[in-house]
């Protein structure tokens, strides 16, 4: 054998019984079959074999199983982003003539996807007020097929009554899909929303998760997952996933696998820091409103208590029990100008201007709510608005950063 051939077909094989704390990175487009029969009988649907890199390798199968465990699900598929997880769920479950319901505070690009893509395929959508069950019920018609839920809502962080929504959807024969990026599988169990129930498990049909956020934890990977406990839905998702060619790269899967063991520690730490910032912000006259579900005055606080804090009543203005993601939003007093708000954001030194969350670095994004919300109350739409995403820095440093930026902006 010439060296050039030996470099490809080498006689030495490493012994197979290697074991180490981290999962191996298996990279492949081509997967090699031992014989023709194995090639003809190939299947990847039940994770008992491999067919082609796009449909899974040991690395991605292992990550899928761990994400399914995190969410309390039976099945998971991985996709290249959280947004792709949203798109896949819609495409796998809906068909021409169907209607889908989205909360008014849904993740922004999901609204755009429904408006610009689903509509072209003959699938309509309606927005509903996530804090008004009567509004939601009034929007369910014969062609409504799927109810999307987000808790807490994007940017404004209202916490809806998920239990009541899932119950309503079941009564009306709708599927429910939850964008569980905020809860991350830690704050509550999407497939067992009422663990005290004796009449059986009540959960959503599908949970999507932007693994880009907490599971990655580094601000350096894009990935999403779709999980379910339903075998039929799982098959629909997997087949649609295959046909759309939505595989993920093994190196990206490796990064998420490496971060998963520390995920709960990071989530808890960012939660503690975010609540410290929220408590401090409540005392600052520059802010007309502080939004965080653990704050007694935040919209849907009681729903959050019930689902994430064991229904324990709060003893102060900030609940200290339960779990919440490290996000808070601040509405500025209405006397401040847009220019002052921009100066505030530019003056922050530790909070960087950037989208996403769940990474080590704190981030800030200014939002113009009147462009984003149809159903928000008038008071919410007054004054400038920023969302803070808390990183892993010390809380005191972050508080001092906000304080100095308020001074620089003359607030
Ligand atoms: C970030 C995010 C997504 C999208 O995730 P990407 O990986 O950035 O595409 C979806 N839903 C929510 C609630 C998010 O915060």
User: The domain spanning residue 124 has which CATH number?
Assistant: 3.40.640.10
**Quick check: is 377 in a domain?**
yes
Say yes or no: CB of residue 82 within 6 Å of ligand 1: yes
What pLDDT digit, counting tens, does each position of 285-340 carry? Answer: 999 999 999 999 999 999 999 999 988 777 788 888 999 999 999 999 999 999 99
Which residue from 348, 405, 71 is spatially nearest to 206, judged by alpha carbons? Answer: 71
Identify whether residues 174 and 118 lie together within a single domain.
Answer: yes
Identify whether residues 216 and 283 lie together within a single domain.
Answer: no
Mean pLDDT value across residues 39-63:
92
Ligand 1 closest atom vs CA 81: 7
Say yes or no: CB of residue 224 within 6 Å of ligand 1: yes
Please provide the average confidence, as pLDDT, over all residues in the chain.
95
Which residue from 323, 215, 217, 218 is spatially nearest to 272, judged by alpha carbons? Answer: 323
Q: Per-residue confidence at 23, pLDDT binned at 50, 70, 90? A: very high
CA distance 309 to 159: 13
Identify whether residues 303 and 360 lie together within a single domain.
Answer: yes
Q: Which residues of 343-374 are buried (b: 16+ CB within 10 A; e: fewer)?
A: bbbebbebbeeeeebbbebbbbbebebeebbe
What pLDDT digit, counting tens, does each position of 200-219 carry? Answer: 889 999 999 999 999 999 99
Domain boundary (202, 230, 261) is at: 261
Identify whether residues 272 and 254 lie together within a single domain.
Answer: no
Say yes or no: CB of residue 179 within 6 Å of ligand 1: yes
Tell how far the Cα of 353 is from the centroid of ligand 1, in angstroms: 17
CA distance 29 to 59: 13
What pLDDT digit, counting tens, does each position of 182-200 carry? Answer: 999 999 999 999 988 888 8
Residue to mutate, 181, 184, 207, 359, ligand 1, most ligand atoms under 8 Å from C-beta: 181
- What local confidence, expressed as pLDDT, does residue 382 receive? 84
Domain boundary (261, 285, 301) is at: 261
Longest C-alpha distance within the chain, in Å? 81
Identify whether residues 287 and 183 lie together within a single domain.
Answer: no
pLDDT at 376 over 80: no
Say yes or no: CB of residue 154 within 6 Å of ligand 1: yes
Q: What is the pTM of this model?
A: 0.96
Tell how far the Cα of 1 is from the centroid of ligand 1, in angstroms: 52
Say yes or no: CB of residue 181 within 6 Å of ligand 1: yes
Identify whether residues 372 and 344 lie together within a single domain.
Answer: yes
Ligand 1 closest atom vs CA 210: 5
Identify whether residues 311 and 255 lie together within a single domain.
Answer: no
- What local confidence, expressed as pLDDT, does residue 285 receive? 96
**Quick check: is 6 in a domain?**
no
- What local confidence, expressed as pLDDT, does residue 314 receive? 77
Report which protein residue has its CA nearest ligand 1's atom 5: 82
The residues near 282 (Cβ < 8 Å, ≥ 6 apart) are 290, 295, 317, 318
What pLDDT digit, counting tens, does each position of 255-281 carry? Answer: 999 999 999 999 999 999 999 999 999
Ligand 1 closest atom vs CA 182: 13
- What local confidence, expressed as pLDDT, does residue 349 receive? 98
Range(s) of the domain holding residue 58: 19-261
Residue to mutate, 83, 216, 226, 359, ligand 1, most ligand atoms under 8 Å from C-beta: 83
**Quick check: is 162 in a domain?**
yes
Give, for 347, the enclosing helix (H) or strand (E): helix 338-347
Identify whether residues 168 and 54 lie together within a single domain.
Answer: yes
**Which CATH number fits the domain that encloses residue 284?**
3.90.1150.10
Q: How many domains does one find in the chain?
A: 2
Identify whether residues 404 and 291 lie together within a single domain.
Answer: yes
Identify whether residues 46 and 77 lie together within a single domain.
Answer: yes
Tell how far the Cα of 222 is from the centroid of ligand 1, in angstroms: 9
Domain boundary (261, 277, 312) is at: 261
- What local confidence, expressed as pLDDT, does residue 317 receive? 87
């Amino acid at each position: 054998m010439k060296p050039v051939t030996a470099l490809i077909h080498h006689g030495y094989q490493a012994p197979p019984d290697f074991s180490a704390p981290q999962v191996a990175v298996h990279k492949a487009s081509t997967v090699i079959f031992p014989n023709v029969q194995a090639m003809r009988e190939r299947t990847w649907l039940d994770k008992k074999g491999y067919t082609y890199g796009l449909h899974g390798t040991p690395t991605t199968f292992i990550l899928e199983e761990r994400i399914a465990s995190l969410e309390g699900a039976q099945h998971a598929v991985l996709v290249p982003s959280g947004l792709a997880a949203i798109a896949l769920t819609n495409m796998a479950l809906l068909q021409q003539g169907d209607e889908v319901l989205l909360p008014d505070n849904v993740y922004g690009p999901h609204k755009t996807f429904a408006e610009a893509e689903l509509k072209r395929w003959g699938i309509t959508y309606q927005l509903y007020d996530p804090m008004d069950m009567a509004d939601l019920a009034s929007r369910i018609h014969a062609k409504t097929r799927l109810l999307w839920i987000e808790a807490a809502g994007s940017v404004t962080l209202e916490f809806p009554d998920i239990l009541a929504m899932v119950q309503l959807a079941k009564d009306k024969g709708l599927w429910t899909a939850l964008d569980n990026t905020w809860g991350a599988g830690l704050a509550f169990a999407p497939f067992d929303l009422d663990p005290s129930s004796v009449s059986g498990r009540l959960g959503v049909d599908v949970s999507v998760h932007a693994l880009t956020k907490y599971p990655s934890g580094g601000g350096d990977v894009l990935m999403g997952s779709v999980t379910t406990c339903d075998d039929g839905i799982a098959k629909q998702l997997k087949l649609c996933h295959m046909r759309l060619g939505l595989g993920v790269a093994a190196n990206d899967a490796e990064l998420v696998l490496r971060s998963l063991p520390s995920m709960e520690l990071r989530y808890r730490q960012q939660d503690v820091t975010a609540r410290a910032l929220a408590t401090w912000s409540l005392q600052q006259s520059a802010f007309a409103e502080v939004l965080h579900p653990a704050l007694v005055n935040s919209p849907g606080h009681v729903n959050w208590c019930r689902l994430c804090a064991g229904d324990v009543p709060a003893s102060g203005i900030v609940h200290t029990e339960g779990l919440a993601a490290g996000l808070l939003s601040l509405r500025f007093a209405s006397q401040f100008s847009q220019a002052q708000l921009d100066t505030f954001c530019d003056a922050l030194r530790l909070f960087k201007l950037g989208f996403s969350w769940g990474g080590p670095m704190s981030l800030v994004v200014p939002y113009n709510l009147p462009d984003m919300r149809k159903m928000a109350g008038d008071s919410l739409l007054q004054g400038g608005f920023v969302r803070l995403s808390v990183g892993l820095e010390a809380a005191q440093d972050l508080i001092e950063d906000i304080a100095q930026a308020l001074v620089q902006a003359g607030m």
